[in-house]
A and B are shown apart, each in its own frame.
Chain A
Amino acid sequence: MNAFLKFIKKNSLPMALIILGCFVFYWVRDYKQVPSGIGPSFFPKVVATMMIGFSLICIFSQWGVENKGEVKPDRTAVIKIAISTGLLVVSVLLMEYVHVIIGISIFLFGYLMLLSGEKWLKSTVISVVGTGLLYATILILRVPM
């Protein structure tokens, strides 16, 4: 069971791509046909074939070989990624319904407190000043917000 889970973990991306490739073939089956044969389904089928083919080669060629990635995420890293994603989602929703300034400042404050480990006063100062400067930049450069 352990070996099976290890296999799944190591080959998660190629396996996901095999499923995606099969889905592409299934999804484009009803796409309209054109006389020249180069219809909207032609290129997706080419890409899906490559996707499945390369993924299978990857799974077999990497058999018994360790994945050498840029990082080996530990539990803390996963928690930090989850927190930053949660903060981003909440802030974007706030921007959508309240105002950009509130969304940005809450994001910065939360990020500095929870992920950077800064004290509340430093976090407040940086988030307020930072939001002000960013908002001024947005206004000066007329970034469409």
Chain B
Amino acid sequence: MSSFIIALSEINGIYIWALLLGTVAGYVIGALPGFSATMGVAIFVPFTYNMSANAAFAFLIALYCSAVFAGSIPAILIRTPGTPAALCTVNDGYPMAKRGEAGRALGLACLASIFGGIVSAIILIFAAEFIADFAISFGHYEYFWLGVLGLSMVIGMSSDNMIKGLISMVIGLAIPLVGMDSMNGFPRFTFGSIELLSGLQQLPVMIGLFAISEVFIGFSSKESEKLSNQKITNLFSSLKDLARNKILLVKTALIGTYLGALPGVGATTAAIIGYDQARKGSKEPEKMGTGQPEGIIGPECANNAVTGGALIPLLALGIPGDPVTAILLGALMIQGLQPGPLLFVQSPVVVKSIYISVILSYVAILLFSIFSIKLIARLLNIKTTILSAFVMVFCIIGSYALRNTYFDVWVALAFGFIGYWMRKDGYSLGPMTLALVLGTMIEQKLSGALKLSGGSLLPFINRPISAVLVSLSLLVIGFSIYKIIKDKKKRV
């Protein structure tokens, strides 16, 4: 509790500024179709190098939370989701706006997002501490299986094409092979390059995959010509709608948090399930898609609840749940912090400050929505190509600033092409990111465990927690394959 008070006492002017700037940046990135929360966090991490850990995470978490919410703004106003997570909001948000109730629709999205986000933050506070206490006894064997469990989620993540998901995962596993082998101190695939001795840095790789490839993809898609001319009034006339749907709110907030905590699921799936729950619980399900409030509340509450949920495995176990938290993991490391159970012992104030940042981010979203949502709506009329020019500059600055070497800029550019190639051919980048982060851990823990056991595989399965994790991995794989087969049969 005392660390909570210390974290609260450390909220100063810089912290507040960082939080507000993060909210603004997230709003802009989320509201512009074609730019994602992942891209936003990736390009802005380098700007936090010289901030204190508290201010840096206030900035990044505010950016993350507001970008997930802001995706609903263009979904409601111009029928184009700003982020994939706002896909379902289009169904009822746009018809409501077309009826002249854009303010009501935006208000619903805003309040439902805030509710989902704050519920997830409260669960994060209790669950992360509990899991971290439990995980403190984990050794090499358990961490190896935890990594495998994370990777097993890849199958579920790539339900539309499992084999392409697995290929994406293998590419992610191959990236950390470059550089010094941490167990044996042997240089691998460095080809005599000094820069490659320390490996391919995760941040430039992510910047390339999520920001540069996004700009390249943008060249192939036509600029949206639908201008936002909706009048935004009575933003918070929607409180009655929320009160009428309180059960849906609680249900989707819990579902979103749970899905966020599962590696590889993410906000888009949560929004789809949230919308499905809204349809199932609706008194007039046949009217869904015509501008029903529950059609906005369900997906928006669920996708924002993912934000707190995704931070649970990141903080408690050091395992990212999605690409955004994978980048946040890198940001924690840049600040000299090692995510995982030890973080709760070594830097409890930073952990508490992260909790506070999630809650305050949603307060900032509320304030920003009240005062500036009309301004953000106008932003939708700016040409995407002008903003993508600045995104590319951020990519250059971000990649270079990590180690002050232009080599990392070339790495980002190369991965921009790889990301574009993969997305063009229908390969998802999610499994690759997950494997990129987990690959290093899996190799280190596997080598360490085998050295400890003298090459014996028995301790991998006869330790109680290991056995549970193996069973869970097998269950996840089995269930995902069963679901894919079932979905295919349904489609036929």
Specify which chain A residues have a CB less than 8 angstroms from the CB of B50 in the assembled complex.
141-144
Specify which chain A residues have a CB less than 8 angstroms from the CB of B447 in the assembled complex.
38, 42-43
Q: Within the assembled complex, what's the spacing in Å between the Cα atoms of A70 and B429?
A: 12
- Asked if A39 lies at the interface with its beta carbon under 8 angstroms from chain B, I say yes
Chain A interface category by residue count: 35 or more
Q: A69 near B51 (CB under 8 angstroms)?
A: no
- Asked if B186 lies at the interface with its beta carbon under 8 angstroms from chain A, I say yes
Instruction: Say which one of B176-184, B239-247, B260-268 lies at the interface with A.
Output: B176-184
Q: A141 near B51 (CB under 8 angstroms)?
A: yes
Task: Tell me how far the C-beta of B13 lies from the nearest C-beta in chain A, rounded to whole angstroms.
Answer: 14
Q: B401 near A85 (CB under 8 angstroms)?
A: no
Cβ proximity bits A97-130 to B, threshold 8 Å, 1 near / 0 not: 0000001100110011001111000000010001
Q: B163 near A36 (CB under 8 angstroms)?
A: no
Q: A31 near B188 (CB under 8 angstroms)?
A: yes
Q: A43 near B47 (CB under 8 angstroms)?
A: no
Specify which chain A residues have a CB less than 8 angstroms from the CB of B183 in the assembled complex.
38, 40
**Closest A-chain residue to B162, C-beta based?**
A61
With most chain B CB atoms within 10 A of its CB, the pick from A24, A44, A74 is: A44
Q: A47 near B173 (CB under 8 angstroms)?
A: yes
Specify which chain B residues have a CB less than 8 angstroms from the CB of A27 in the assembled complex.
189
Compute the total of residue contacts between A and B using a CB distance below 8 Å: 177
Contact of B424 among A31, A70, A138 (CB under 8 A): A70
Give chain B's interface residues, CB within 8 Å of chain A: 46-51, 163-164, 166-167, 170-171, 173-174, 177, 181, 183-184, 186, 188-189, 215-217, 219-221, 383, 385-386, 388-390, 392-393, 396-397, 400-401, 404, 406, 409-410, 413, 420-427, 443, 446-447, 450-451, 454-455
Q: Within the assembled complex, what's the spacing in Å between the Cα atoms of A126 and B382?
A: 13
**Closest B-chain residue to A61, C-beta based?**
B163
**Closest B-chain residue to A66, C-beta based?**
B426
Q: B173 near A50 (CB under 8 angstroms)?
A: yes
- Asked if A72 lies at the interface with its beta carbon under 8 angstroms from chain B, I say yes
**Closest B-chain residue to A49, C-beta based?**
B170
- Asked if A134 lies at the interface with its beta carbon under 8 angstroms from chain B, I say yes
Assess A112 versus B186: contact at CB under 8 Å? Given A54-B170, A77-B220.
Answer: no
Specify which chain B residues have a CB less than 8 angstroms from the CB of A71 in the assembled complex.
217, 220-221, 423-424
Specify which chain B residues have a CB less than 8 angstroms from the CB of A8 in the assembled complex.
none
Q: B166 near A54 (CB under 8 angstroms)?
A: yes
Q: Within the assembled complex, what's the spacing in Å between the Cα atoms of A72 and B420?
A: 11
**Closest A-chain residue to B384, C-beta based?**
A116
Give residues of chain A (25-83) contacting chain B, Cβ–Cβ below 8 Å: 27-28, 31-32, 34, 36-40, 42-44, 47, 50-51, 54-55, 57-58, 61-62, 67-74, 76-77, 80-81
Specify which chain B residues have a CB less than 8 angstroms from the CB of A67 in the assembled complex.
425-426
Contact of B174 among A14, A28, A51, A118 (CB under 8 A): A51
Give 20 A-B pairs besides A69-B425, A77-B220 with Cβ atoms closer than 8 angstroms.
A24-B189, A31-B188, A34-B184, A40-B188, A43-B443, A47-B173, A47-B177, A50-B170, A51-B170, A68-B426, A73-B220, A76-B219, A84-B215, A91-B396, A95-B400, A104-B393, A116-B389, A130-B390, A130-B393, A142-B50
**Closest A-chain residue to B183, C-beta based?**
A38
Q: Within the assembled complex, what's the spacing in Å between the Cα atoms of A142 and B400?
A: 14
Contact of A32 among B186, B221, B443 (CB under 8 A): B186
Task: Tell me how far the C-beta of A132 lies from the nearest C-beta in chain B, rounded to whole angstroms.
Answer: 12
Pull 6 A–B residue pairs with CB atoms less than 8 Å apart, ordered by A: A12-B425, A13-B425, A17-B171, A39-B184, A77-B219, A144-B50
Specify which chain B residues have a CB less than 8 angstroms from the CB of A118 in the assembled complex.
386
Assess A44 versus B188: contact at CB under 8 Å? Given A104-B393, A144-B404.
Answer: yes
Task: Tell me how far the C-beta of B415 lies from the nearest C-beta in chain A, rounded to whole angstroms.
Answer: 13
Specify which chain A residues have a CB less than 8 angstroms from the CB of B221 in the assembled complex.
71
Q: Within the assembled complex, what's the spacing in Å between the Cα atoms of A67 and B188?
A: 34
**Closest A-chain residue to B387, C-beta based?**
A116
Assess A115 versus B174: contact at CB under 8 Å? Given A69-B425, A71-B423.
Answer: no
Specify which chain B residues have a CB less than 8 angstroms from the CB of A36 in the assembled complex.
450-451, 454-455
Task: Tell me how far the C-beta of B390 lies from the nearest C-beta in chain A, rounded to whole angstroms.
Answer: 6
Q: A138 near B397 (CB under 8 angstroms)?
A: yes
With most chain A CB atoms within 10 A of its CB, the pick from B47, B164, B393 is: B393
Q: Within the assembled complex, what's the spacing in Å between the Cα atoms of A96 and B50?
A: 22
Assess A37 versus B455: contact at CB under 8 Å? Given A43-B443, A145-B401.
Answer: yes
Ranked 4 nearest A-B pairs via Cβ? A71-B220, A116-B385, A40-B186, A111-B389
Q: B426 near A81 (CB under 8 angstroms)?
A: no
Specify which chain A residues have a CB less than 8 angstroms from the CB of B423 in the assembled complex.
69-71
Q: A13 near B421 (CB under 8 angstroms)?
A: yes
Q: A70 near B217 (CB under 8 angstroms)?
A: yes
Q: Within the assembled complex, what's the spacing in Å between the Cα atoms of A42 and B182?
A: 13
Q: B184 near A40 (CB under 8 angstroms)?
A: yes
Task: Tell me how far the C-beta of A99 lies from the nearest C-beta in chain B, rounded to whole angstroms.
Answer: 13
Q: Within the assembled complex, what's the spacing in Å between the Cα atoms of A144 and B45?
A: 12
Specify which chain B residues have a CB less than 8 angstroms from the CB of A137 in the assembled complex.
47
Specify which chain B residues have a CB less than 8 angstroms from the CB of A20 in the assembled complex.
174
Q: Within the assembled complex, what's the spacing in Å between the Cα atoms of A20 and B173?
A: 13
Contact of B186 among A31, A50, A92 (CB under 8 A): A31
Contact of B181 among A40, A55, A58 (CB under 8 A): A40
Q: B455 near A85 (CB under 8 angstroms)?
A: no
Task: Tell me how far the C-beta of B5 lies from the nearest C-beta in chain A, rounded to whole angstroms.
Answer: 29
Specify which chain B residues have a CB less than 8 angstroms from the CB of A96 in the assembled complex.
406
Specify which chain B residues have a CB less than 8 angstroms from the CB of A142 in the assembled complex.
49-50
With most chain A CB atoms within 10 A of its CB, the pick from B217, B389, B397, B425 is: B389
Specify which chain B residues have a CB less than 8 angstroms from the CB of A144 in the assembled complex.
49-50, 401, 404
Task: Tell me how far the C-beta of B412 lies from the nearest C-beta in chain A, rounded to whole angstroms.
Answer: 9
Q: Within the assembled complex, what's the spacing in Å between the Cα atoms of A75 and B339?
A: 45
